[in-house]
Amino acid sequence: MINTYIPGTVPGKPSSILPPGSPQPAATPKPLAPKENELPRAINYQADYSGCGYWRMSWPEQTLTSYQHMIVHGLTCMVRDKAFYSNLKSVRLQRQANPAQLNFYKMLRGYADEMNFRLIYEIDDVVMREDIPDYNKYKFAFEPDEIRNCVLEMMRMSDEISVTNAYMRDYYADKTGNNNITVIPNYPPRFWLDRYYDEELISRNYDRHVKKRKQPRILYAGSGAHFDVDNKVNQLDDFAHVRDVVRKTCN
């Protein structure tokens, strides 16, 4: 193959000058805008990084973003910069309760009205003190009048409240008068549990262990919100209704 040098080019480099009569290269297409620019954007403010923080905020956020349904930013630190909230679809805040959080919520309410995004209050439990069982180890945090009033005010000024089940939808509609309440159940993400579920393996393990012992092991799990850890009500907690059955059948 003859290597012909064309004036105006650098030897060994692709030519940018073609001889007369040569076919012209097709125009370089403009690069497409990244798909992220076209996706709806939202912000999550988490109240914690324990169980409900993951079930209600982190895992949905990761799933929505990884499947490119939308871009969700998860935060715990209050951002007051107005420009940060441009071009949003929603801001969702989990279990906000104290006066400082109420003031921040009011600021967001103003931004939401001006910039046309939705303000959503996320709650996965009963936080009204009159309905929290006395054995709940964390009840003290929601007993002050100030906390109760802050929660109600934030819920009432929200465009939407998100809860885990129909009971809480009806409960908070009655407490707040806000009927824009959406039920979003707790869904375990596939990247956590799906690859571990093997029906055949479960059946084999059951046959191998449970049938042999004729005594299945049952785990009843929960935090200090479900057990009378401090013996405040003589162990009349979430486990009380099955405790006697366990005693009668332990052998």
Determine phi and psi for 61, rounding to 5 degrees. -60, -50
Residue 248 has pLDDT above 70, yes or no: yes
Quick one: average pLDDT of 114-127?
Answer: 97
- The rounded distance, in Å, linking the Cα atoms of 32 and 45 is 32
Long-range CB contacts for residues 229-232, cutoff 8 Å, separation at least 24: 229/135, 229/137, 230/135, 230/137, 232/134, 232/135
Which pLDDT belongs to residue 250? 79
Whole-number pLDDT of residue 31: 64
Binned at pLDDT 50, 70 and 90, residue 3 comes out as: very low
What is the rounded distance in angstroms from the CA atom of residue 49 to the CA atom of residue 65? 19
- Number of C-beta neighbours around residue 158 at 10 A: 24
pLDDT average, residue stretch 213-228: 80
Phi then psi dihedrals of residue 169, to 5 deg: -60, -50
pLDDT at 43: 98
**For range 81-106, the mean pLDDT:** 97
159 and 130 in contact (C-beta within 8 Å)? no
Q: What is the amino acid identity at position 186?
A: N
Q: 75 burial class (0-12, 13-18, 19+ CB within 10 angstroms)?
A: middle
Give the number of other CB atoms < 10 A from CB of residue 126. Answer: 17
Contact 46, 75 (CB under 8 A): yes
Q: What is the pLDDT of residue 5?
A: 40
For residue 214, pLDDT beyond 80 = no
In the chain, the percentage of residues whose pLDDT exceeds 70 is 86
Is 44 within 8 Å of 94 (Cβ atoms)? yes
Domains and CATH numbers, the chain: 37-183 (3.40.50.2000), 198-249 (no CATH)
pTM > 0.75: yes
Please state, rounded to an integer, the average pLDDT across all residues of the chain.
87
**What local confidence, expressed as pLDDT, does residue 36 receive?**
74
User: 56: burial class by Cβ within 10 Å (0-12, 13-18, 19+)?
Assistant: buried
Residues 205, 199: Cα–Cα separation, whole Å:
10
In this prediction, residue 189 has a pLDDT band, given cuts at 50, 70 and 90, of confident
Judged against a pLDDT cut of 50, whether residue 15 lies above it is answered with no
Least confident of 14-23, 52-61, 185-194: 14-23
* pLDDT digit string, tens, across residues 19-56: 566 666 666 766 655 577 889 999 999 998 888 999 99
pLDDT-based confidence at residue 183 (cuts at 50, 70, 90): very high
Which pLDDT band holds residue 10 (cuts at 50, 70, 90)? Answer: very low
